[in-house]
Each structure stands twice: as C-alpha cells, then as structure tokens.
Chain A
Amino acid sequence: MSKALLDIKNLHAEIEDEGKAILKGLNLTVNAGEIHAIMGPNGAGKSTLASVVSGKDGYEVTQGTVEMDGQDLLDLDPDERAKEGLFLAFQYPVEIPGVSNINFLRTALNEIKEYRKEDPISAKDFMALVREKSKLVELDSKLASRSVNEGFSGGEKKRNEIFQMAMLDPKVAILDETDSGLDIDALRIVAAGVNKLKNENNAVILITHYQRLLDYIVPDYVHVLADGKIVKTGDKTLALELEEKGYDWLTEEKTV
C-alpha cells in the first residue's frame, strides 16, 4: 500500500468572528499516486476545506488534525505549507498589478528551495523551466512575463494556476473549482496539464461541482461532501450517479 500524503482526521472548522461551524468532523486520506474528487452541494464546505488546509486567515480549526506526508500542517503558515509541498489552485486567482508572473514565481521557487536547503535556481535554468512548463498548459510565454493574472481571461487565469503548479511541483495539489468558467477547449488543456503532472509520488484533489471535469481527469475516488462531512465515497461511477440524481438522495438517506 502506498503512503498517505494527506491525512485529514475529524476536522472541525468554523468561520472566525462568526463562530459558524462549516466543517463538522471531516475525514479524508489521500495516498501517493491517487486522484480524489470532492463534490457536493453549494455551501457544503468544499472551498472552506481548501482554505483551511492551505492556511487562509479567517477560519478556526476547533478539532482534528491535518497531516501532509507525516507533517502536521495546522501549525504552519500558508507559505510553510507550500514549502512542504502543498499547492492550492485558486477558484478565483488574484490579480496582482505590478508583480510579474516570472518574478514572483522565481521568488517562490527560490524560497521553497532555500527552505529545503537546496541551491537557488539559476536565471538560465529558471527560464528554461518556464518555457518547458508553459507549453504544458499552452500558456503564451508573453503571459508568463506579464503582471500576475492582470488582464488575463478566465481561461488564462486557470491555465496560469496549473502552470504555477507545474513550476512548483507539489506533493499535494488541491484544485478548487478549476473547471469553473472554462470553455471546453480550455478545460481539455487544463485537464491534460494536470494529467501530465500527476505521477506515483504526488496526489491531486479536485474540488468540483460538475462531473464534466472528471471525464478528462479520471479520479480514483469520488467523495460527496455535505454539511461539513464526507457522506459518501465511491469510484468514478458515483460522479455519474450524482449527475443523474443530484445530491438530495444522499442527504435524505442520511436522515432516514
């Protein structure tokens, strides 16, 4: 059996200030080499899960643990989690005027390398890496040198997320509704990129509303998240079933 890369146990989290519980005892184990899809109705806590695991401010974990490759994540700052090998592809990538994509990625990559006590990447090797990885998601190299996400189309922003994922080579990547706002061609490109990056040593978690994405990135497991918990786990056929029946039968089943 392969090792657990991400291990979430009994995770409870609430929105700070409001004290509103969102995650209510979530368990999830993701092993190396696996792709997991997390689906669920609006307001189930899917994006909160991504935020809590990546360390975004504004949430309080009241119970439970999150470990990545044996390392407790909850005590780490967001950047330290990234340095440990976590990657979050944002649902809404942020535009940062004046900060070039290239400059910020080199800063990130070198900080990560320093954290891992590796030598910084040379400018030449870095540019070669940019060229190689931007091809993966068919990202125009001109976009790579522009300000982060500024003036990018919806599709370009999502491709830029996967380009960054490719550059940083994470152990665990959480893709938060990466398919939203993508036309079918962009979806294919993004999915192909993710499939190429996927290998036996890393893992991908897809948070999505739609089965469509899973035609292109085939998951090993599909989980249904409802009311802050995983209420059902199955293989890829579960996604098709959800597409057909919606979520009501699951939430009702629970109450019966």
Chain B
Amino acid sequence: MTLVLSKKMDTFLSELTVPSNEIQSNIIEQLKGMDFPTSRDEYWKYTRVGKISNTKFSNTTAPSNEIDVAAHLVSDNYIVIENGTIRTELSQTNSDFAINYKDATEVNHLVNLDNNNVFTAINSGLFKEAISISISANQAIEKPLQLVFVSTGESNIANNRILVEAGKSSSASVIISNISNKANNCFNNTIIEASVAENAHLTLHKIQNESATNLSVSTEQVRQAKNSTFKINTFTLTGLLVRNNINIAVEGENCETYMNGAIVSAGKQHVDNHTFVDHQVPNCYSNENYKYVMDDQSTGVFNGRVIVQKDAQVINAYQNNGNILLSDNASINSKPELEIYADDVKCSHGSTTGQLDEMALFYLQARGISRENAKKLLVSAFIGEVISATNDDTVIELIQQLLSNEYGWEFA
C-alpha cells in the first residue's frame, strides 16, 4: 500500500505562523501528515471545504484600529476577539465569571487527534490564547458573558479556543457572536470545550452573522455531569460556508440537553449542522429542534445523531428538523441518525422540507397583505418558534433586530 500525501496541507500552512512552543509545533508536524476531508468522508459528505483548503490564510495581520461591535453588544460584560487575537483594551469584563487567558502549555487535553479531525488539529496547533471561563460552584449569574469574535481584513484566519467550566450547582449563559468588520474571505475556526458539573445549568447562544464571503467551522465538545442542564442555541444568519459540530457526552443521570437551531440562508450560502448526543447513562432527556429557511441557491445540511448506549434506559430523546425552501434552487440534505442499544427508551425524530403554504399565503393576501409581506409573516412565524424557545429576551431581541437588518423580517 502506498501512502499518497496531498500537498494541500503544506500549502494551507505555508503562510501561517505557529506559536513557539513544543506542543503546538508537534501538532503542526502531525497535521502535515493529514489531509482535508472530502465528500468521500461520510462526516463531510455534503460539505466541500475547498474554499478553506485552497486559501493561503494569514494569522499575523496587525489588529485594526476601527472595530465596531456596538450593534451586536447585549451585555456589559464582554470580550472582543479580532481574528483570533484577544483585544483586552476593547473588552469590558466584571468579576461575575472567572476569566483567564491561557497559552497552549497551560491547556490540558489539548487535542484529540484520534478522531482525525483536521480542523481541531489546525485550531490546536495555531491558537494563540485560549479563553478560560469558570463559573464558581453555587453561583447563579444573571447577566450573560458575551464573546464577540470579529473578522477583519482579507483572508485572515482566526483560531479561537474557549474553555467553559460550569461549577457545581451554578447557572450562567454565554453569548458567542461571530461578526465581520470589513472582512473578506476570512476563516473562523473555533473550538469550545464545556464541562457542566453536577446540578449546573449552562446555556450557550451562538449568533453567526459573518460577512457573505467568510468561512466558519466551529466545534463544541460538551460533557454533562449528573442532574445538569445544557442548552445550545445556534442562529446562523450569514456567512458563505458555515459548519457547526456539536458533540455532547451525557455522562451523568437525570440530565437535560437542549439544542435549538434557526438557520436563514440566501445567495450561495452553505450551512451545515452536525450534532451528536451520546446518552451514556440512564434517565436523561434531550430535545433538538433545527429550522432552516433557505432562499436563492443556498444549500443546507442537517445531521442529527443520537446514541443511546446499552443500559442507558429510560432515555427520552426528541429531534425535529423543519425546512422551508423559498426558491426552487435551494436545497437541503437532512439526516437524522438514531442508534439505540437500550430497550426502554422513547426516541422520536422527524424531518420535513417544503415550501410556504400557498393557502396561507392567499389567505393573508386576501386580507390586503402583499405577497412579499405575507411570506415574511409566515417565515417569521416558522422560525420564530425556535427563537422564542431561547427564553432569553435580550437574545431574542438581538436576533430579531439582526434578522430585520439582514432580511427585513419583522416579528411581533
């Protein structure tokens, strides 16, 4: 057997500067023996990464002086990160969360190369400072911490690493905003590792509002201890290529896990959500609801995987994926995957794809509402269900504002 190594990775890495430490140098060396995924890889079947692998990104661009994040801020506790570099002078934090910036030498279990995930390895080999966020035991924090990742300039790569530790019986939420300031063809590669301790409640809101030429791959690795609740809400509004990997290991009993997604795409956007819930123990509940509204030639992928391990009895796992195609040229590949190895479980999944209801459109028009506005009302109602499920008025208001800015949708 001959091993043919692609030169793609060498080219990809050629303009990138690796932080000077042994750990990351080693990761980059290993990375050189790896290749980008192709459509032959099941995990990447419908998502081509050529736009990423064929670009020589830079990670040494000087920070810009004009960064505007005001329109996206919904908390007075926030950190601004530009192209992977933490801009402390533009940030404002209080003592609610314990925040530390760590280089690679201070981060444990840096990378798991076993799963052969190229983007994880790229992130591990190149990130500059990880943001470590801790919530102390028994602490209930009302106001969210907001991380604002800003892409700026031309063909810059951002490798963002975030570690969240929600202590025992704590409760908090973190908003992750991905935005652009005059950015073109930038690549955001983000990993969030979260551990949710016993009896803790942690919510992550991801708001993806990048420029129309930007690329993004993000991975959330989550572990839940017993009696904990984890929620992740993903809102994708813009961005040329957006790939989200959510992997949740439910390791303790009596956990609740919620995943909501609202995706709006137009133009030539491609949005891919891969979620994975691993029910390892009995007596847990998980609920997933992803809705896509797709216009123009945009394409979508939804892959929702749930495993109920042997002996993980009394699991209730629900999954729903609903899609509306506003154009004849938009398309989505939806794949629910349930693997159940226990016998006393309740699992359901459903996937629907269709157009807007013509009868409803005519009904609204017959009352004097233009077809265009009738469509907006129906689309807002369809996706509004997911948005209101976040139960966070600040976030709901922000999403509605952004959707109004981007697509002219009004909610009520």
Instruction: With CB as the reference atom, state the residue of chain B lying closest to A109.
Output: B368
Main secondary structure of the interface of B (DSSP, over half): helix
| Cα A111 to Cα B371 with chains together (Å) | 12
- The residues of B that contact A99 with a CB separation of less than 8 Å are 364, 377-378, 380-381
CB of B373 to closest CB in A, whole Å: 6
Verify A103–B368 contact, CB threshold 8 A. no
- Name the contact of B368 in the complex, choosing from A93, A97, A111 (C-beta under 8 A): A111
| Cα A10 to Cα B371 with chains together (Å) | 29
Verify B385–A96 contact, CB threshold 8 A. no
Q: Which of A68-103 contact B (CB under 8 A)?
A: 77-79, 81-83, 87-88, 90, 93-94, 96-100, 103
Which B residues are closer than 8 A to A by beta carbons?
Answer: 357-360, 362-371, 373-374, 377-378, 380-382, 384-385, 412
Assuming A79-B371, A97-B381, what are 4 further A-B pairs, CB within 8 angstroms? A93-B363, A106-B412, A112-B368, A115-B368
| Cα A109 to Cα B369 with chains together (Å) | 8
- The residues of A that contact B365 with a CB separation of less than 8 Å are 55, 77-79, 82
Verify B367–A168 contact, CB threshold 8 A. yes
Verify A107–B366 contact, CB threshold 8 A. no
- The residues of B that contact A104 with a CB separation of less than 8 Å are 364, 367, 369, 377
Evaluate whether A107 and B373 lie within 8 angstroms (CB atoms) in the complex, with A96-B378, A96-B381 already known.
Answer: yes
CB of A97 to closest CB in B, whole Å: 7
Verify B363–A90 contact, CB threshold 8 A. yes
CB of B73 to closest CB in A, whole Å: 28
- The residues of A that contact B357 with a CB separation of less than 8 Å are 94, 96
Instruction: With CB as the reference atom, state the residue of chain B lying closest to A149.
Output: B363
11 pairs of residues in contact across A and B, judged by CB atoms under 8 Å: A56-B366, A77-B370, A83-B368, A96-B360, A99-B377, A99-B381, A103-B377, A104-B367, A109-B368, A111-B369, A148-B363
Q: Which of A145-171 contact B (CB under 8 A)?
A: 147-148, 164, 168
Evaluate whether A77 and B368 lie within 8 angstroms (CB atoms) in the complex, with A99-B378, A100-B412, A107-B377 already known.
Answer: no
Q: Which 10 A-B pairs have the closest CB atoms?
A: A98-B381, A82-B368, A78-B365, A103-B412, A94-B363, A108-B367, A79-B365, A112-B368, A108-B368, A99-B381
Verify B367–A105 contact, CB threshold 8 A. yes
| Cα A174 to Cα B176 with chains together (Å) | 52
Which A residues are closer than 8 A to B by beta carbons?
Answer: 54-57, 77-79, 81-83, 87-88, 90, 93-94, 96-100, 103-109, 111-112, 115, 147-148, 164, 168
| Cα A98 to Cα B411 with chains together (Å) | 10
- The residues of A that contact B367 with a CB separation of less than 8 Å are 79, 82, 104-105, 108, 164, 168
Evaluate whether A168 and B363 lie within 8 angstroms (CB atoms) in the complex, with A98-B385, A107-B377 already known.
Answer: no
| Cα A106 to Cα B368 with chains together (Å) | 11
CB of A70 to closest CB in B, whole Å: 19
| Cα A231 to Cα B194 with chains together (Å) | 76
- The residues of B that contact A97 with a CB separation of less than 8 Å are 381
- The residues of B that contact A94 with a CB separation of less than 8 Å are 357, 359-360, 362-363
| Cα A118 to Cα B19 with chains together (Å) | 65
Verify A108–B371 contact, CB threshold 8 A. no
